[in-house]
Amino acid sequence: AARERRSVLERESQLYGSFDGAMKFIKGDAIAGIIIIFVNFIGGISVGMTRHGMDLSSALSTYTMLTIGDGLVAQIPALLIAISAGFIVTRVNGDSDNMGRNIMTQLLNNPFVLVVTAILTISMGTLPG
């Protein structure tokens, strides 16, 4: 009974340590994304006004839209990667489990999901633009 409790306590400790590391990673990624968005916005407005001869309102309109689009394009994959990393980092199993085998088992567990994903990916690849 005492060994079981020590094992449970050890796994909980590993889980909370992994949570801490995952949250620091996600926080740093989000802060970097926000800084990049502000640099794009300010840089775009200044380039629009100095290089392209735009007035302030048209530069704000144009580069606000471009910055929002760039932010979405950059942050959606970053969000998916952060979520995936969080799942992997916070996964705490016993010492006897093999992480690679567990990931492959979960990925190949339902072939229907892989088929649907492949069809969606191919369909998106054939879209123009």
pLDDT in tens, 55-77: 999 999 999 999 988 888 877 88
- Sequence-ordered list of residues with C-beta below 8 angstroms from that of 14, at least 6 positions apart, any chain: 92
In which band, very low, low, confident or very high, does the pLDDT at 94 lie, cut at 50, 70 and 90?
low
| pTM for this entry | 0.53
Is the confidence at residue 92, as pLDDT, over 60? no
Distances (CA, A) of 95 to 34, 35, 105: 38, 40, 17
Distance CA 74, CA 79 (A): 9
Distance CA 27, CA 114 (A): 31
